Amino acid sequence: MIKRYTALITVLFMFCYVHPIQAKSLNETIQQYLGTDNISVSIRDPETGEIVYEKNGDVGMKPASTLKLLTAASALHTLGEQHRFQTDVYTDGKIENGELVGNLYFKGRGDPTFQKNNFLQIADILKVLGVHSIRGNLYGDDLHFQGAALSPGIAKDDESYYYAPRISALTMSPDQDFDAGTMIVHVKPTEIGNKPMIEFEPNDCGMIFINQAKTVASNEKNTIEIIRKHRSNEVVISGNIPVGEPHKDWVTLYDPTLNTLIAFKKTLEEAGVSFYDTAIERKAVPKNAVLLYTKHSLPLEVLVHPFLKLSNNSIADILVKTMGQTVYGHGDFKSGLNVIRYYGEQIGLNMEFWQLEDGSGISYKNRTTANELTNLLVIVRHEPYFPIFFSSLPVGGEKKREIGGSLRERYLDDHLKGRVFAKTGHISGVYTLAGYVKAKSGKMYAFAVMTQNQQKNKIKDIDKVVEAMMEQY
């Protein structure tokens, strides 16, 4: 007991003697770069959980994508690091003279990694079975998720963009970032004055494209815009595209379930499989259907990397709905967010300081505090999934996208590189960063810097504050 109190007195002495000098210097840096209004900063010793510095640490702030830290922690705990999303394809038909007479049913469970190569695998299976044509319908069973396809905080003007996808239990992804619920549109210049060519990944999926763009000379500016109309499957491509400068961008799917089935059909037709009298609709898998194909996603311990490093919003909302389905039997946003709230309470977060409207952080109604973010960062160090959680954070100054993620162009100087492991956050007027920083002393600290209602980009200013943390601790 005496040794314990002696150690405590020593720690307190060091805190009282050293900390004011550090705090003053850090205060000056914060004042210079962030000011005093609409900011919140917290630093904790991850070993003890003690707050070693705070400024407005208990003020509710918009977290933006730093909210994904709690979503990731909740998902790793609730679903398990080995969780895999599954897509099954069934048939109720029979093969007659090289033709499948009957329907194909796609049962989705939120797999964000269902892609064109999987369509081709199904085509190969059909060919092995001797099937060269299908006389029947394609049905999508997306009943694993319920409720709204869009999280409540997505603004009307954002619906077209890849970071605001509609969430369905049956969906597809066009890339290795697994931006589920989107497609890639390629705009390729032709002759000057003519409309450009339009191509799609993974395939044409039934969206209506209105090409209003024009090919211009190579010395003119690229002004291409690709916008899906609000609550519509019509996509308008407008602007100028210079010769020799192809352009690509992501656009959200209007109806991921049906769009996925249409893309599947187009892909199989290109692979030599014919369709006759084929309707594409939603329908539950009947009990008499026979399993034809099962696809498992990468495990969650792998998917959490693009989720956190690249700030993938579609994975965020898929995780929320999956947690709701797993725990409560309801794959909707409300149920999933309740799972997150319960987990937060169980591990010791003060959920009165957390206001959740989604799992991605895109909503302006989300709230938490810098002190709660650092509290989370301290607590998860003792969770069994922490090595996965930590390795999924973006690493400052690491140019490889799969390592540096959203921090790959920040902290590039040699003395800063590889010392910041943190989740970035940004929505209009909001700039945040939360994670771990290796200080000059060699000690690691948990930190959170939050700003909101900003009129200019605060990324570089936040980085200056984090650099000051490195130097002064």
Catalytic residues: 65, 68, 311
The alpha carbon torsion through 51, 56, 59, 61 (nearest 10 deg) reads -100
Residues 6 or more apart whose CB falls under 8 angstroms from that of 414 comprise: none
Q: Compute the distance between CA of residue 280 and CA of residue 206 in angstroms, rounded to an integer.
A: 11
Residue given tokens 């916008």 in the structure block: 227
In three-state secondary structure terms, 308 is helix
In three-state secondary structure terms, 356 is coil
φ and ψ at residue 367, rounded to 5 degrees: -145, 145
Q: Compute the distance between CA of residue 211 and CA of residue 215 in angstroms, rounded to an integer.
A: 11
DSSP result, 30-80: HHHHT-SSSEEEEEE-TTT--EEEEESTTS-B--GGGGHHHHHHHHHHHT-
The distance between the two most distant Cα atoms of the chain, rounded to a whole number of Å, is 88
DSSP designation for 428: T
Q: Are strands 430-438 and 420-427 parallel, antiparallel or unpaired?
A: antiparallel
Please count the other Cβ atoms lying within 10 Å of the Cβ belonging to residue 176: 10
Burial of 299 (0-12, 13-18, 19+ CB in 10 A): middle
Instruction: Take residue 193 and report the two structure tokens written for it.
Output: 């004055």
Q: Cis check for the bond before 202: say yes or no (omega within 30 of 0).
A: yes
